[in-house]
Amino acid sequence: MGPGTLRTTYARLRGFVQRDLTRSLRLFFLTSLLICCVSMTVQIAHMGLGLSVTLACAAAQLLLIGLRTAEFRRGRPLPVWVETIEFGAVFFVLSQVTEASPVISTLFMSLLFRAAIGSLPRLLLSQAGYLGAWVLAVALPFRVEPVPGAMISLPITTLMIYGTRTLMAKLQEQQRAQNALLQGVLTDLPFPVVVTDAAGHVVLANPAVMDLVGWPRTGTLQLGELALRDLEERPVDLRTVAARCGDTGNLAKTELRLLRADGSALQIVVQTVPMAQGFTEGGGVVLALLDVTAQRSYEEHLHRAAYFDLLTGLPTRRMLFERLTVAYESDLPYAMLLIDLNDFKVVNDTLGHKIGDELLAGVAERLQAAVDETATVARLGGDEFAVLLPQAAAAEAEVAARAVRAAFLEPLHLSCGVLPGKGTVGVAVAEPGDTPDHVLERADAAMYLAKPAGKRRIRSPHCPRNAPVAG
């Protein structure tokens, strides 16, 4: 038997005890009575009273165990007339065994079981019957030991057990009322809530959960059947999540993607809260499921609005500067290209802003195609673009600049027809001690130098102002 089996068995036993304390108490005394009867039979056999006496006493004990088992299954005492049969069996055993010590434990356990199941009048009747049979066996010439201490402690102990059982019953009733209230509250909550036991099996799932997953409200929720994945697209089983929370006793929050029954996907946050006790067996876990799909969509919209240009889809100045800072802090070489469109204002004024927007979008596509995936092509605003080349020296920067210039050679096909694209490129390579602002300033200066020499030329601050760079 492995540790997992032992853990499961312990959890079930603990759950049984917590679910019905009174019934657990009865089962304990019934089991103890069986053990005492077996022990008593063995002791009688060793007294040398003969096989017939041993078998007769064993039969009387089996009768006693049978009556108590019937009461355990009924959950209440048998009719009063059955007590006469029980008293007769007790008297018979006492009359056959002159040494009372083997019988005392059996009498105790039988009456303790009665204290755990019957009312006070039935308990007093049983006490009177057992003590009366004992006194009668002592009075008659059977030479039975009286054992006054045991005869006094027998009614006192059983009354104490009865009082304990009564208190347990009241506490259990209060617990059931609290559980019913808790179940009603959880069921009526407008947001999805699932309650599991310690092993992760569903005990309660309110209607909001069924609506969230897209299942009929009349159905039964099975956590293992939910199609869930984490943010890295790995499958997730909520039963494991709940069981882990029950084992550790810690709060946990997990964001997952839920595939609903209709095929649509939701982004949900699962909050797990351990329960030390409640209407679950051996404790449990409450799982609150929050649909954050709309919130995440809005956050994504805000992120794109802040970091991506809505017209061209390119990163904005903000993202460019963040990546420029990363490149600067890496202590590796990098280069910056600044691109300015020529005659863009003329296009806007003569052909309209719609064509101007098409021109910007077309240039953005050309620029992205001209450089590799490691480069960041960004729109700074208006007709200005920038390209960040991480881990690029002067040679790589010049190659990228030529590719960008080549992107302007082919005309753009817009809704108004074919329109040539024109732009000026400035290049700057980061040197030791340069800050990102210094690199941008030198790239801007290079672009300014390139403008007068020809609007489709590339210039670097290290090139003579009027020396063209071959295309």
Q: Is 95 exposed, middle or buried (0-12, 13-18, 19+ CB in 10 A)?
A: middle
Instruction: State how far the Cα of 347 lies from the Cα of 40, in Å rounded to an integer.
Output: 110
- In DSSP terms, which residues pair with 389 in a beta bridge? 335
- Among 64, 69, 70, 67, which residue's Cα sits nearest to residue 89? 64
Instruction: State how far the Cα of 97 lies from the Cα of 13, in Å rounded to an integer.
Output: 38
Looking at residue 216, its pLDDT comes to 82
Domain(s) of CATH 3.30.70.270: residues in the chain: 308-459
Beta-carbon contacts of residue 98 (< 8 Å; ≥ 6 apart)? 142, 143, 144, 145
Cα-Cα-Cα-Cα dihedral sign, residues 127, 131, 136, 142: positive
This prediction has a pTM of: 0.51
Instruction: State how far the Cα of 30 lies from the Cα of 36, in Å rounded to an integer.
Output: 10
Mean pLDDT by 10-residue block, N- to C-terminus, for the chain (471 residues)?
55 57 84 88 82 87 90 88 87 79 83 87 87 80 73 86 85 75 74 80 82 80 82 85 76 86 88 71 78 89 87 91 90 91 86 89 91 92 92 90 89 84 89 89 88 52 40 34
Fold of 190-297: Beta-Lactamase (3.30.450)
Give Cα separations from 156 to 43, 112, 151, 284, 361 (angstroms). Answer: 27, 11, 9, 39, 95
Domain(s) of CATH 3.30.450.20: residues in the chain: 190-297
Tell me which CATH code domain 308-459 carries. 3.30.70.270
Residue 163 exposure: Cα atoms within 13 Å on the Cβ side: 6
